């Protein structure tokens, strides 16, 4: 399960990355004012209570996380991120940096296998990719983490089913002097392009992390205000 | 070991921590105080219950004397909770500090007081702060005062008999209104309208009980809290310094004042003379 193939590949990890290509699209954009995360909720039935679908989470008041793939797998990772951030505060009386949180979570990624060496470990990798968005003393940052545990900092990143088209669109529209407001508008515009359903305030989730307002989840009204400008 | 012999400690068989890690997650790697805050590795060869009896027994050969002098009080009233504490730390007959912070700010809407062992209170209330924050993140709502105090009481109960010394009041405001719980290292957890903890508490209770009404105004309540601590510091040798006063409101706690008891003495004296 976790052994190398003759060509030097870890198949389980590659298969996990395939699983994410089926997940709902998530976009993250970093600006000098803060970072924005926007996710397609993918409400598959009008009977679903849309507010119960949650794909953007608070990790601490200065870090948020969006996910794509097997959402249930992300619950363990999010909780791990939260506990690590609090342990850090407990020991060092300081907020954990975005990179450190991401690194702490990535330590879980390759702890899978079917041998007796570690009973209680997972049998398969996590089938979810995460976007960590936060602000620390290095400024606003966005990190992408995949099932291999690799984490890379991005200015703008899209994950999930619409990620190919979205990533290209991000490359065209992103510029370093973007304001957070422009980034929010851009994120929703690109989501609209790649989403199958018509974008509205109930089938997307958006959150920002800024220095002043910290972690902030957009309410239905606030989403509508951004949507009407598109 | 020479030091152990001098202190009269009886060394036992190898005994590691039997407490399981609750609340926090730990990897299968090192479980030390850095990564797992709710789990202590007890030093080898020491049975805490037995060795700590030497410290609490006045007839023992061990001459280290833990002092528990302090006065802290808190009371609920219609506008929230008033928390007032002194600031003196003593070691036997010596005043070690007049500027100890005996109110621990757990988070913007929870306060804890310090009586007994300062390190015990400060450390476990910080563990409580970490636990309350994780609760908030997982449940998307603030933790109630009842739940927070229960978390602390359950944590210290695991160490019952091992020499923790902590008498704290957990104060806050949640959806049930103002909350006040007394929690101590014996595992006691109770809720009431008025509590005072410490060597000076007897004096504070006298003043507090005679002046207390649920419908006090904010100024009257602040004055009552301040006065009660002053009277305790006046008569109790182990209390003194300054009175630190906090007001717990619906929007969270507010630090009201820090007043030297020396100034309060002459202020109250002048008031008496005016009458």
Q: Residue B271 — pLDDT band, cuts 50, 70, 90?
A: very high
Residue pair B69/B202 in contact (Cβ under 8 Å)? The answer is no
Angle, in degrees to the nearest 10, between helices B218-235 and B201-211: 150
Which chain A residues contact residue B127 at CB under 8 A? 90
Query: Are A91 and B37 an interchain contact pair (Cβ–Cβ within 8 Å)?
Result: yes
Q: What is the mean pLDDT of residues A130-152?
A: 96
Q: What is the mean pLDDT of residues B110-138?
A: 93
**E strand intervals along A165-203:** none
In this predicted complex, what is the ipTM?
A: 0.88
Query: Are A82 and B35 an interchain contact pair (Cβ–Cβ within 8 Å)?
Result: no
| Nearest chain B alpha carbon to A89 | B130
B253/B259 Cα distance (integer angstroms): 18
Residue from A73, A124, A131 nearest A98 by CA: A131
Residue with tokens 């006046």, as numbered in its chain:
B234
The predicted pLDDT at position B195 comes to 96
The predicted pLDDT at position B32 comes to 44
Residue from A133, A164, A148 nearest A31 by CA: A133
Query: Are B134 and A82 an interchain contact pair (Cβ–Cβ within 8 Å)?
Result: yes
A183/A170 Cα distance (integer angstroms): 10
Adjacency order of strands within the sheet including B80-85: B194-197, B72-77, B80-85, B242-249, B252-260
Query: Are B130 and A90 an interchain contact pair (Cβ–Cβ within 8 Å)?
Result: yes
Question: pLDDT for A4-44, tens place per residue?
Answer: 899 999 999 999 999 999 999 999 999 999 999 999 999 99
| Nearest chain A alpha carbon to B24 | A83
A120/B28 Cα distance (integer angstroms): 10
Q: How far is A171 from chain B (nearest CA, A)?
A: 34
* Residue, of A133 and B3, whose pLDDT is higher: A133
Half-sphere exposure of B252 (CA within 13 A, CB side): 8
* Token pair listed for B274: 């005016």
Q: Which of A26-35, A119-128, B83-92, B163-172 has the lowest mean pLDDT?
A: A119-128
Residue from A75, A67, A204, A213 nearest A129 by CA: A67
| Nearest chain B alpha carbon to A82 | B134
Distances (CA, A) of B239 to A10, B224, B231: 67, 17, 10
The predicted pLDDT at position B40 comes to 61
Question: pLDDT for B25-84, tens place per residue?
Answer: 433 333 444 445 555 666 667 777 777 777 666 677 766 665 568 999 999 999 999 999
Which chain A residues contact residue B34 at CB under 8 A? 91
Which chain B residues contact residue A80 at CB under 8 A? 25
A192/A188 Cα distance (integer angstroms): 6
Residue pair B188/B123 in contact (Cβ under 8 Å)? The answer is no
Q: What is the mean pLDDT of residues B207-214?
A: 96
Sign of CA dihedral B270, B271, B274, B275: negative
Query: Are A86 and B130 an interchain contact pair (Cβ–Cβ within 8 Å)?
Result: yes
Q: What is the mean pLDDT of residues B233-251?
A: 96
- Is residue B152 left, alpha or beta, with left meaning phi > 0 and alpha meaning psi from -120 to 50? alpha
Residues from B contacting A (CB-CB < 8 Å) are 24-25, 27-28, 34-35, 37, 126-127, 129-130, 133-134, 137-138
Half-sphere exposure of A142 (CA within 13 A, CB side): 25
A128/B267 Cα distance (integer angstroms): 66
Active site residue B70: yes
Which chain A residues contact residue B137 at CB under 8 A? 58-60, 82
The predicted pLDDT at position B41 comes to 60
Q: What is the mean pLDDT of residues A121-127?
A: 86
Chain center to CA of B205: 17
The predicted pLDDT at position A83 comes to 95
Residue in B24, B28, B138 nearest the CB of A118: B28
- Residue A103 burial (CB < 10 Å; 0-12/13-18/19+)? middle
pTM attached to this predicted model:
0.84
* Token pair listed for B184: 């101590």
The predicted pLDDT at position A186 comes to 96
Residue pair B102/B80 in contact (Cβ under 8 Å)? The answer is no
The predicted pLDDT at position A135 comes to 97
Q: Catalytic pick from B38, B70, B113, B168?
A: B70
Q: Residue A122 — pLDDT band, cuts 50, 70, 90?
A: confident
pLDDT at B238 over 70: yes
Question: pLDDT for B129-144, tens place per residue?
Answer: 999 999 999 999 999 9
Residue pair B86/B242 in contact (Cβ under 8 Å)? The answer is yes
Which chain A residues contact residue B134 at CB under 8 A? 82-83, 86
């Amino acid at each position: 399960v976790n052994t190398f193939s003759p060509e030097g590949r870890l198949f389980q990890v590659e298969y996990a990355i395939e699983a994410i290509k089926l997940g709902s699209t998530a976009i993250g954009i970093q600006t000098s004012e803060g970072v924005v995360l926007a996710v397609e909720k993918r409400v598959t039935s009008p009977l679903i209570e849309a507010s119960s679908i949650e794909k953007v989470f608070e990790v601490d008041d200065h870090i948020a996380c969006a996910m794509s793939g097997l959402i249930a797998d992300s619950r363990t990772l999010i909780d791990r991120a939260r506990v690590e951030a609090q342990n850090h505060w407990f020991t060092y009386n300081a907020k954990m940096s975005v990179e450190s949180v991401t690194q702490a979570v990535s330590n879980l990624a390759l702890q899978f296998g079917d041998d007796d060496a570690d009973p209680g470990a997972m049998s398969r990798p996590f089938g979810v990719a995460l976007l960590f968005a936060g602000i620390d003393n290095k400024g606003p940052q966005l990190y992408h983490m995949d099932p291999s545990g690799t984490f890379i900092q991005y200015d703008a990143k899209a994950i999930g089913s619409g990620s190919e088209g979205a990533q290209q669109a991000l490359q065209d529209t992103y510029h370093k002097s973007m304001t957070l407001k422009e980034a929010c508008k851009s994120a929703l515009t690109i989501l609209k392009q790649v989403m199958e359903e018509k974008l509205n305030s109930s089938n997307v989730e958006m959150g920002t992390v800024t220095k002043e307002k910290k972690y902030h989840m957009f309410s239905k009204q606030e989403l509508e205000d951004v949507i009407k400008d598109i | 070991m020479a030091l152990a012999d001098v202190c009269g400690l009886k060394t036992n068989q190898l005994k590691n921590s039997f407490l399981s890690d609750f609340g926090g997650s730990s990897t299968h790697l090192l479980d030390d105080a850095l990564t797992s805050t709710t789990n202590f590795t007890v030093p080898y060869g020491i049975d805490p219950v037995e060795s700590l009896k030497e410290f609490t027994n006045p007839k023992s050969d061990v001459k280290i004397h833990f002092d528990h002098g302090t006065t802290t009080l808190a009371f609920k009233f219609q506008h929230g909770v008033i928390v007032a504490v002194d600031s003196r730390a003593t070691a036997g007959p010596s005043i070690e500090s007049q500027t100890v912070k005996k109110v621990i700010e757990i988070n913007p809407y929870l306060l804890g007081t310090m009586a007994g062992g300062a390190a015990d209170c400060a450390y476990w209330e910080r563990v409580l702060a970490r636990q309350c924050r994780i609760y908030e993140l997982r449940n998307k709502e603030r933790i109630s005062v009842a739940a927070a105090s229960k978390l602390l009481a359950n944590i210290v109960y695991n160490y019952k008999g091992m020499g923790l010394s902590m008498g704290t009041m957990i104060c806050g405001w949640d959806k049930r209104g103002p909350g006040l719980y007394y929690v101590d290292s014996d595992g006691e957890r109770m809720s009431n309208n008025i509590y005072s903890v410490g060597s000076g508490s007897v004096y504070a209770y006298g003043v507090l009980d005679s002046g207390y009404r649920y419908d006090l105004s904010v100024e009257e309540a602040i004055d009552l809290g301040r006065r009660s601590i002053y009277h305790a510091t006046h008569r109790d040798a182990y209390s003194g310094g300054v009175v630190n006063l906090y007001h717990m409101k619906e929007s969270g706690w507010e630090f009201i004042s820090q007043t030297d008891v020396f100034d309060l003495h002459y202020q109250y004296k002048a008031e008496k003379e005016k009458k």
